[in-house]
């Protein structure tokens, strides 16, 4: 009982140091690789000096935490015994660890874009465990107060029970090599908030539970090509305004988004988001486990700047008031709060409150 209590206090203590965070997409960008190389050549190591500058700028702007997505599965062979074929990628990650240490920033190493589905849950899990065994072994002596491991980003192609079975095996593989590091773990359904509320807690208590918040999805992802026909309706305002609400796109009307579109008059409001985030805070308190919002934000291509500012400021305000540590998605691309390249003088004026933590 004493050991469990100590582990719980460790997770809570570390969660309380996380503060305001940011995602930096680079080591996850598998789409930059070539088919001939099975996308394993995706990482442009010449970009490392740029990444160093971005970490320094984040720190200067007051960000205390970096969630760093990494596509580990492309670093290793597909078949057992899963030999490492990209050791130079580890050298790049070592640099990121060193640079965040110099800035005294917390670093979440996030296992992003992994393969895990109901069709091959046993073999997929075995490979993920083997990879994490190597990652954890490499970083077992890293500062456990500052380096956290997020075991798998947005599980979505398997059931709640299958995910929890897989997650337990991954937990064991990491803890065998790095017993003192805190793990970040979400639920099925894309790290869904509701899915987390109905999930089981793991026996290991040195865990911070994570969720992603992109509600209302038809607003935050409107026009996003990777989300399919459901989000083809663009021009959706935030907060909801009957005067400015567009008709649903014909191709979206036959998808699951049609229901969200009908609900938007009540869901596209501050109150709806506050209620939802309050509910996960209450779940955290009831179960005595710390939580972390690992991603939140809004796609910028089809949203009005003033509406996006209103949305981002509202979400940040609620998270801040509820003392939920968080990491915005993301730094320098299509969800960014900069106008152009990241710099202190390119922050969109109405988003300065988020950057300044107000």
149 — phi, psi (to 5°)? -115, 120
Cβ atoms of 22 and 103 closer than 8 Å? no
Rounded to 5°, angle at Cα 104 from 309 and 91: 100
Q: Under a CB-based contact definition with an 8 Å cutoff, are residues 276 and 263 in contact?
A: no
Cα distance between residue 234 and residue 228, in whole Å = 13
Query: Do 233 and 316 form a contact (C-beta atoms < 8 A)?
Result: no
Q: Top-level CATH class of 2-216+268-355?
A: alpha beta
Domain ranges (residues) in the chain: 2-216+268-355
Q: What is the pLDDT along the chain (358 residues), one digit of tens a residue?
A: 334 455 568 999 999 999 899 999 999 999 999 999 999 999 999 999 999 999 999 999 999 999 999 999 999 999 999 999 999 999 999 999 999 999 999 999 999 999 999 999 999 999 999 999 999 999 999 999 999 999 999 999 999 999 999 999 999 999 999 999 999 999 999 999 999 999 999 999 899 999 999 999 999 999 999 999 999 999 999 999 999 999 999 999 999 999 999 999 999 999 999 999 999 999 999 999 999 999 999 999 999 999 999 999 999 999 999 999 999 999 999 999 999 999 999 999 999 988 887 6
Q: Which residues pair with 76 in a beta bridge?
A: 84
pTM: 0.96
The residue count for the chain? 358
Report yes or no: 321 and 59 within 8 Å, Cβ to Cβ: no
């Amino acid at each position: 009982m004493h050991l469990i209590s100590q582990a719980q206090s460790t997770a809570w203590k570390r969660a309380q140091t996380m503060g305001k965070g940011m995602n930096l997409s680079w080591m996850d960008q598998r789409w930059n690789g070539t088919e001939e190389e099975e996308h394993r050549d995706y990482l442009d190591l010449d970009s490392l000096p740029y990444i160093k500058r971005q970490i320094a700028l984040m720190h200067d702007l007051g960000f205390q935490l970096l969630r760093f997505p990494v596509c580990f599965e492309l670093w290793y062979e597909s078949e057992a015994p899963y030999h490492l074929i990209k050791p130079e990628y580890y050298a790049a990650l070592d640099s990121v660890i060193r640079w965040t240490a110099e800035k005294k920033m917390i670093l979440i190493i996030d296992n992003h874009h992994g393969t895990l589905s109901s069709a091959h849950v046993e073999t997929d899990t075995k490979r993920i465990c083997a990879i994490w065994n190597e990652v954890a072994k490499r970083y077992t002596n890293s500062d456990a107060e500052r380096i956290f491991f997020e075991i798998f980003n947005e599980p979505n192609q398997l059931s709640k029970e299958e995910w929890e079975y897989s997650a337990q095996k991954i937990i064991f593989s990491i803890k065998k090599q790095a017993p003192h590091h805190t793990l970040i773990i979400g639920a099925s359904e894309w790290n869904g908030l509701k899915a987390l509320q109905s999930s089981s807690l793991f026996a290991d208590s040195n865990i911070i539970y994570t969720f992603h918040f992109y509600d209302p999805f038809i607003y935050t992802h409107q026009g996003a090509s990777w989300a399919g026909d459901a989000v083809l309706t663009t021009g959706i305002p935030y907060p909801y305004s009957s005067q400015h609400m567009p008709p649903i796109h014909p191709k979206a009307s036959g998808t699951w988004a049609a229901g969200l579109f009908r609900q938007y008059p009540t869901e596209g409001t501050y109150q709806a988001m506050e209620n939802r985030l309050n509910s996960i805070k209450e779940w955290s308190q009831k179960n005595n486990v710390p939580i972390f919002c690992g991603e939140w934000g809004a796609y910028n291509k089809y949203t009005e700047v003033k509406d996006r500012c209103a949305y981002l400021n509202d979400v940040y305000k609620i998270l801040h008031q509820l003392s939920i540590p968080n990491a915005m998605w993301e730094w320098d691309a299509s969800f960014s709060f900069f106008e152009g390249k990241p710099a202190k003088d390119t922050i969109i004026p109405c988003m300065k409150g988020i950057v300044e933590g107000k």
